[in-house]
Amino acid sequence: MKSKMTNKQKNRTVLVGVAASPGYAYGPVRKIETRKYSLDSSALPTSALAEEENHFLSAVDKAAKEIQNLKKVTGERLGEEEARIFDSHLMMLRDSTVLDPIIQSIRQKRHNARWAVHSTLSALIAKFESSKMEIMRERTMDLREIYNRLLAALDEATSAPLPQSKTPLEPSNIVSHELTPGMLMSIEKNEVLGFATDIGGRTSHISILARAMQLPAVSGLRNISVVIEDNDMLFIDGTGGMVIVNPNEEDLNRYQEKLAVYNKQKQELFTMRQLEPMTLDGKYITLHANIELPIEAESVLEFGATGIGLYRSEFLFFRKGTPTCEEQTAAYSHILKRLSPHPVVIRTLDAGGDKLVSDISAADEANPFMGWRSIRVCLTRKDLFREQLRALLLASREGHLRIMFPMISSLNELREAKALYYECRTQLLNEGVELPEVQVGCMIEVPAAVMMVDTLAKEVDFFSIGTNDLIQFTLAVDRTNELIANMFEPHHPAVLNMINRTVQAAHSEGIPVCVCGEMSADPLSTLVLVGLGVDELSMTPWSIMECKKIIRSVNYEDVKATARAVLKMDTAADVNRYLRQKYLQMIIDLGISSFITSHEIKNPLEKNA
């Protein structure tokens, strides 16, 4: 979406992208251009080829040393786990599938090293960019990082993408076509207000680092690097996934209010976090955090969480290929130690679909979302699955672990996964390893699981409803498809009735139900989920306090009546209308910024477009 109007002789432009890291930032723009290199495709004399190959290999060594230095800096600033992002770059520099074609280009085509790097890596980048998999497209940033470092090293100049300054620069909003981890680590944090990029997604390395640094970021803006000028002012809404170039007075007043609410909420954390998430009539709702990186475990308790409801273990695999059992054990142990004695739910590898992991997922599936993914990958690659289960069990000695199997669609899948779990447990016990009891659960995220939820409930210790996929599969709606994204409706009667059915079956067997999809963090949905009897809600850490405010402002009996009422309604529009009429003013009075951002700010901007 784009809108323009004159403001002090500057164009006002509104762009919507991906909410990569929450928070708000307003300030001047610092635009980062991609470095340009001189290239020449003319052939070298045969006598010069050996020297040119050595020149290239020296550049590889130089680039590797620079990446090692960046890894060290990142470890000092953010922690060792974040520094592992650079391991993928080092692996590429040692990968024969990357280096050999460049060397062959020098030897056989008599290309100079710069042209060999340019032509070979450009072709590989194009292949990744054309992939149907979002995670593959995002990995092009790693290849671009290698591309830029090698060319800079061949120029016998520093390969730092950003100029270094002896004097601190003015805090600015960084805008670029793309940002790589190396570029980010070359900027001092006190010089950055936020980030806005043309490309990238929530799972890109830059988004992960931005969240770890607690800096607002919006990615996937397509053309902000073209629209923006160096003397522009920029407002970044990392919570709602929107930026405004040269905002007018009305924009600034509105967002200053939201920023004030956001900052006030952060200040209130140290008092609010001690309060119980309990309704006015005494119903306790457990609030957990969703995390993607072990380092995020350091702060979830400060946000008022009482545990982790979803740790997405596949991020270890995205960032390092296939981590060893020891590396996995260390990562899981770190989280469990930090949260002990609170529970930590770790989801086993959920690869495939839009989450492609090198050497694991099938890259050329016609319909990857319904293909070889998630638990199906694990039950096929039992060696991989056993190693992860072993690591989880070894780590369980450090805290309160719950293991969760994703995308279960049949009783056979669940039983096979459990059998492998008990096989690994028995082996460790036979080796003399003392292990605590570990709860085992499964995700309810496909309609097949809902239809047999009574049977599944007898087999597990807990359920976790993954509403993102459940909605997508139930309504046959790909929410990333702009043509039908408006049909992705959490309050569709079919979705609400599936959640209700799952809760009823779980409670009949005496097991708890958690909702860990984005639906749990939406204020109106929170009220419905609590009313339906959901025991636990798990969400991004920064949403927990808002959710706690809502829960502490209502009576359980009232939201139960609300849930009964909406279950009888025929359309999502009826449900939404009813919920807004009943709770809108209360939510606004509470200053729930996520609701106001998504419901009260975006729509007026669209009208002004």
- Residues placed in the known binding site for Mg(2+): 445, 469
Cβ proximity of 112 and 59 under 8 Å: no
Joined together, the tokens standing for residue 362 give 């099938």
Catalytic site residue from 118, 205, 288, 491? 205
Cα(112)–Cα(102) distance, integer angstroms: 10
Beta strands in 170-251 (DSSP E): 172-176, 192-197, 217-219, 233-237, 242-245
Active site residue 516: yes
DSSP letters along 113-178, please? HHHHHHHHHHHHHHHHHT-S-HHHHHTHHHHHHHHHHHHHHHTTS---SS---SSPPPPEEEEES-
Question: Cβ neighbours of residue 514 under 8 Å, at least 6 residues apart?
Answer: 286, 288, 309, 345, 462, 463, 464, 465, 534, 535, 536, 537, 538
Burial class, 132, CB count within 10 angstroms (exposed 0-12 / middle 13-18 / buried 19+): middle
Tell me the three state secondary structure of residue 38.
coil
Question: Cβ neighbours of residue 136 under 8 Å, at least 6 residues apart?
Answer: 128, 356, 363
Long-range contacts of 122-127 (CB under 8 A, 24+ apart): 122/147, 124/98
Closest CA relative to residue 61, chosen from 149, 124, 145, 143: 149
Question: Cβ neighbours of residue 25 under 8 Å, at least 6 residues apart?
Answer: 173, 193, 194, 215, 216, 234, 235, 236, 238
CA distance to 477, 532, 537, 562, per residue, from 567 (Å): 21, 9, 20, 9
Distance of CA 112 to the CA centre of its chain: 40
What's the chain's length in residues? 609
DSSP 204: S
Other Cβ atoms within 10 Å of 268 Cβ, number: 14
Cα(250)–Cα(256) distance, integer angstroms: 10
For 438-475, give one letter per residue: b (16+ CB within 10 A) or e.
Answer: bbbbbbbbbeebbeebeebbebbbbbbbbbbbbbbbbb
Closest CA relative to residue 321, chosen from 9, 21, 558, 87: 87
User: Pairing state of beta strands 24-32 and 18-21?
Assistant: unpaired
Cα(600)–Cα(605) distance, integer angstroms: 9
CA distance to 319, 538, 574, per residue, from 562 (Å): 43, 21, 13
- 174: β partners: 30, 195
- 347: β partners: 312, 404
Cα(70)–Cα(225) distance, integer angstroms: 25
Binding site listing = 312, 347, 445, 468-469, 479
Handedness of CA 563, 567, 568, 571 (dihedral sign): positive
Distance of CA 374 to the CA centre of its chain: 17
Catalytic site residue from 378, 424, 516, 547? 516
Residues with active-site annotation: 205, 516
